[in-house]
Structure 1
Amino acid sequence: MSANTMETDEQFTYNSPIVNFYSGKSVFVTGATGFLGTVLVEKLLFSCKGINNIYILIKQTEDLTIEARILNYLNSKAFHRVKNTNPELMKKIIPICGNLEDKNLGISDSDMKTLLEEVSIVFHVAAKLIFKMSLTAAVNINTKPTEQLIAICKKMRRNPIFIYVSSAYSNVNEQIIDEKVYSTGVPLETIYDTLDAKNTRLMDIFLDKRPNTYTYSKALAEVVVEKEFDESAAIVRPSIIASSIREPIPGWLSGSHGFPRVVEAACKGLLLRWHGDGTVAFDVIPVDHVANLIIAAAWESNERRLMGNKGVKVYNCCSGLRNPIDVSTVMNTCIKYRKYFGTRTMSIITPRFIMKKNYFLYKLLYFTYHTIPAAIIDGFFWLTGRTPMMLNTLHKLRKLSSVLEYFTLHQFLFLDSNVRGLLRRMESTDRQTFNFDVTEIEWEPYLQNFVRGIANNYNYSM
């Protein structure tokens, strides 16, 4: 029996429309080296073995060459099961040197020719998740590259499906967020002209009650997708992306993310008082759920195109509506499993994470339980000839937690009828292989693995 026959039989055996859709197709992924991007690429390799090539955009840095970066990437633990089952699949990952902020994304003519000829699906995952960027920086890295990428897609011979990964919080100036693209009020051309003129006085008008420039730049990019992409496309909006629930490893994490750092600080006893409403549903979503939804959304976009249904479809990839868990429960459940940090904790007994909505009461508790003990420890360090560090550490943690406070002081409702509809339309085999059903999440074991993942993957000084 030939290899091609075996592959075809395998597809029919598994009866997977999604796997069949990806068979023989090449994809282009921006942000592939990031947390979500890595899980997406690994899942495509592992579950869609008939995929042709996966081209990933990689930026050369001052510290590492492209060759060094791709080597580090391919050596990630995330790819362990691919290497164990079929290491030859790793050869399908092909780096494309580029830079989102450069013209044509910094892609060389020869690489561009390859992409234009071969790519059938484009996943735009790349973003800079820094809340306190200037508006100019946020637009230049999160909005304008989306325009450039869409312009490239329009030149691609295979008329690609386009998937843009946004954020569920891109429109938190609304309390109920539906699966649609919201107007940002000000035309894009006006925003660009204002930024070029260095006029920052209109910032508050532009943001329109959004908490930061990151969420605004993602909302602008959504507008770009709807305006510029006249073929079938999709926008996937994940909420707070946390560790994997199953794939590639339960509890897998990579990189340095704000929320896991807060959890680590709480588990170590360094941050146990937080300004926020503990009853607010904390919308956490496993990274592999997001990757699976992205993969399935591309398949459904193609199905819509075959039926003549073009345009942009939005998917709110969130847990708060179907399987809510409040922020106090999240944090205190995580602290229950602080044992994974071993001796790197501040107390023997299990502490309790306390949130206060009243700012004055929060400041009083914070001063009593954090500032005073830190000052005493620093005083002891100074007297014994060591470098005082606790107050400085506390200051860094306070800045870190403050950027998340907005999301623990406000309750949002993310509607998800498109997500549920996609689940219903998938074959049972695909629902199992590319599962993103949040109603099946059991929070206690998931958060246990989350804490284990933080303890195993993070190595930085608090």
Structure 2
Amino acid sequence: MSANTIESDDQLINYNSPIVNFYSGKSVFVTGATGFLGTVLVEKLLFSCKGINNIYVLIKQSKDLTIEGRILNYLNSKAFHRVRNANPEFMKKIIPICGNLEENNLGISDSDMKTLQAEVSIVFHVAAKLLFKMSLATAVNINTKPTEQLIAICKKMRRNPIFIYVSSAYSNVNKQIIDEKLYTTGVPLKTIYDTLETENTRLIDIFLDKRPNTYIYSKALAEEVVGKEFDESAAAIVRPSIILSSIREPIPGWLTGSHGFPQLVGAACRGLLLRWHGDGTVVFDIIPVDHVANLIIAAAWETNERKLVGNKGVKVYNCCSSLRNPIDVITVMNTCLKYRKYFGTERTMSIFTPRYIMKKNYFIYKLLYFTYHTIPAAIIDAFFWLTGRTPMMLKTLNKLSNLSSVLKYFTHHQFLFLDSNVRGLLGRMEDIDRKTFNFDVTEIEWEMYLQNFVRGIASNYDSC
């Protein structure tokens, strides 16, 4: 394809795309930009919205690296390869803002604050600490309170920016059917703040109201904050389910690291953990990271459209796959195992049968786990000890078992995530925008997607 053809295509997109035109000449502020989802969001804005002005990204000062060093590593990642190839000058549009979510005013300096207040038209609040075993105080201080602070900052911005908050589809799983609307946690936020230091188990259970962990609860609280603060103006909440590797952009199968569920898949592909306590028939709601990024970008456009006609309030988008394109958890695992070849024979314990087994009955699960995992691991550790090497298999297995126990909640419970707002947004988009910012889950071919997912894990896998 010639350079002239590429230029013509870009002109056609700019001319016909309401979303691209919406971002043209505007600056955005992104928290969590260096994370998995945030990286894909920033890259997509640079690549597809070429007329965007600046992208200000909140970055925490590191002990080992300066802000300049962190942003250099960030921009040199594989995620930005196509932007570098298309036009390296676009990278200059990413401007770091030194800050810290746990500090007052997010740790942003006065000079940087003035810049944000003068320039920013759209705010994407993506940052969160995704750790299930946090104290209530830690979860609220890192996931809820910064949302309040960021909204306060937004209200001082001269351009009256569009605000998009990225929550979690599981923030309200104390209900079986989760609609695209705001829910109340039932406890006033002030009461929560007043009792943050109280680690009374009974009190925390009352607060969580059947939610499985403090992370999910802190996201639900943040949603309440957004709903309260934007009841007289327009904003949006995007609730993704379990975010996995990209389906197309920036690279098929792209992901950062191999933690959480990808770590379990990697362990299964290596023959380390092929038994899981759970219901294999439960529909596993997974979503490609680029689908989430595209929906976030489109939601900001629609929020502005609502704002222009005087619509107020917060619109919620459940970014999920289970309703329109379901796949159960055992199919996910066994499909992934079909592509264990990407790990190579030297990293795979091929003596184990490459088939995943899930059992709801805890006694049967423990019996299988002991027979097929504990005993072989103990034998291998004994061999290591006899040959002068450090025994490690039982320790590794214990770590993986702890991880699977943390995630088992999602394989024992079935939820229905309604998505009429997502489908409505997709229907209102122009054809060019539906192609450029695609988030239609009905088009996902799970076999091919999971093959690329495993390839991505294998390239990032770091043994426990």
SS of the residue corresponding to residue 403 of structure 1 reads helix
CA contact (8 A) 2:258 2:460 kept: no
> What corresponds to 1:214 in structure 2?
215
Percent of residue pairs bearing the same amino acid type: 85
CA contact (8 A) 1:34 1:255 kept: no
> What corresponds to 2:247 in structure 1?
245
Q: What one-letter code is carried by the residue in structure 1 that aligns with 2:307?
A: R
Q: What one-letter code is carried by the residue in structure 1 that aligns with 2:387?
A: T
SS of the residue corresponding to residue 202 of structure 1 reads helix
Q: What one-letter code is carried by the residue in structure 1 that aligns with 2:31?
A: T
Q: 1:374 aligns with which of 365, 372, 377?
A: 377
Q: 1:347 aligns with which of 331, 346, 350?
A: 350
Q: In 2, distance between residues paired with 1:329 and 1:103? A: 46
CA contact (8 A) 2:135 2:199 kept: no
CA contact (8 A) 1:42 1:79 kept: yes
Deviation at 1:11, TM superposition (A): 5.6
CA contact (8 A) 2:102 2:142 kept: yes
> What corresponds to 1:227 in structure 2?
228
* Residue-by-residue CA offset, 1:179-235 (whole Å, 9 max, x unaligned): 011100000011101115665541000000000000000000000000012321000
Q: In 2, distance between residues paired with 1:445 and 1:9? A: 29
Using a 3 Å threshold, how does the CA distance of structure 1 residues 300 and 7 change in structure 2: closer, same or farther?
A: farther
SS of the residue corresponding to residue 195 of structure 1 reads coil
Q: What one-letter code is carried by the residue in structure 2 that aligns with 1:65?
A: T
Q: In 2, distance between residues paired with 1:121 and 1:192? A: 29
Q: 1:429 aligns with which of 429, 432, 442?
A: 432
SS of the residue corresponding to residue 83 of structure 1 reads helix
Q: In 2, distance between residues paired with 1:444 and 1:82? A: 28
SS of the residue corresponding to residue 28 of structure 1 reads strand
Q: Compute the TM-score of the two structures, normalised by the length of structure 2.
A: 0.96
Kindly indicate whether residue 407 of structure 2 is the aligned counterpart of residue 404 of structure 1.
yes
SS of the residue corresponding to residue 419 of structure 1 reads helix
> What corresponds to 1:307 in structure 2?
309
Q: Moved runs in structure 1, 4+ residues, more than 6 A?
A: 6-9
Deviation at 1:7, TM superposition (A): 10
Deviation at 1:351, TM superposition (A): 1.0
1:93-132 aligned at under 5 Å gives the runs 93-132=94-133
Deviation at 1:350, TM superposition (A): 5.5
Q: In 2, distance between residues paired with 1:308 and 1:371? A: 62
> What corresponds to 1:157 in structure 2?
158
Kindly indicate whether residue 48 of structure 2 is the aligned counterpart of residue 47 of structure 1.
yes
> What corresponds to 2:420 in structure 1?
417
Q: What one-letter code is carried by the residue in structure 1 that aligns with 2:342?
A: Y
SS of the residue corresponding to residue 453 of structure 2 reads helix
SS of the residue corresponding to residue 25 of structure 2 reads coil
Q: Compute the TM-score of the two structures, normalised by the length of structure 1.
A: 0.97
CA contact (8 A) 1:335 1:350 kept: no
Deviation at 1:170, TM superposition (A): 0.4
Deviation at 1:8, TM superposition (A): 12
Q: In 1, distance between residues paired with 2:46 and 2:98? A: 21
Q: 2:333 aligns with which of 331, 334, 338?
A: 331
Q: In 2, distance between residues paired with 1:375 and 1:348? A: 15
For structure 1, the 5+ residue unaligned runs are 1-5
The more displaced of 159-168 and 11-20 is: 11-20
SS of the residue corresponding to residue 407 of structure 1 reads helix
Using a 3 Å threshold, how does the CA distance of structure 1 residues 246 and 142 change in structure 2: closer, same or farther?
A: same
> What corresponds to 2:446 in structure 1?
443
Q: 1:270 aligns with which of 264, 269, 272?
A: 272
Q: In 2, distance between residues paired with 1:386 and 1:162? A: 55
For structure 2, the 5+ residue unaligned runs are 1-6
Q: In 1, distance between residues paired with 2:167 and 2:363? A: 35
Deviation at 1:257, TM superposition (A): 2.8
> What corresponds to 1:63 in structure 2?
64
> What corresponds to 2:300 in structure 1?
298
Deviation at 1:457, TM superposition (A): 2.1
Q: What one-letter code is carried by the residue in structure 1 that aligns with 2:366?
A: K
Q: In 1, distance between residues paired with 2:12 and 2:129? A: 38
CA contact (8 A) 2:143 2:218 kept: yes
Aligned-residue Cα RMSD (Å) equals: 1.5
Kindly indicate whether residue 316 of structure 2 is the aligned counterpart of residue 317 of structure 1.
no
The more displaced of 190-199 and 57-66 is: 190-199
* Residue-by-residue CA offset, 1:112-166 (whole Å, 9 max, x unaligned): 0000000000000000000000000000000000000000000000000000000
> What corresponds to 1:27 in structure 2?
28
Q: In 2, distance between residues paired with 1:86 and 1:328? A: 43
* Residue-by-residue CA offset, 1:72-118 (whole Å, 9 max, x unaligned): 10101000000001111000000000000000000000000000000
Using a 3 Å threshold, how does the CA distance of structure 1 residues 302 and 340 change in structure 2: closer, same or farther?
A: same
> What corresponds to 1:184 in structure 2?
185
> What corresponds to 1:134 in structure 2?
135
Q: In 2, distance between residues paired with 1:139 and 1:382? A: 45
CA contact (8 A) 2:14 2:20 kept: no
Q: What one-letter code is carried by the residue in structure 1 that aligns with 2:120?
A: V
Using a 3 Å threshold, how does the CA distance of structure 1 residues 11 and 106 change in structure 2: closer, same or farther?
A: farther
Q: In 2, distance between residues paired with 1:89 and 1:375? A: 54
SS of the residue corresponding to residue 160 of structure 2 reads coil
Q: In 1, distance between residues paired with 2:436 and 2:109? A: 36
Q: In 1, distance between residues paired with 2:348 and 2:198? A: 50
Q: In 1, distance between residues paired with 2:193 and 2:371? A: 47
SS of the residue corresponding to residue 62 of structure 2 reads coil
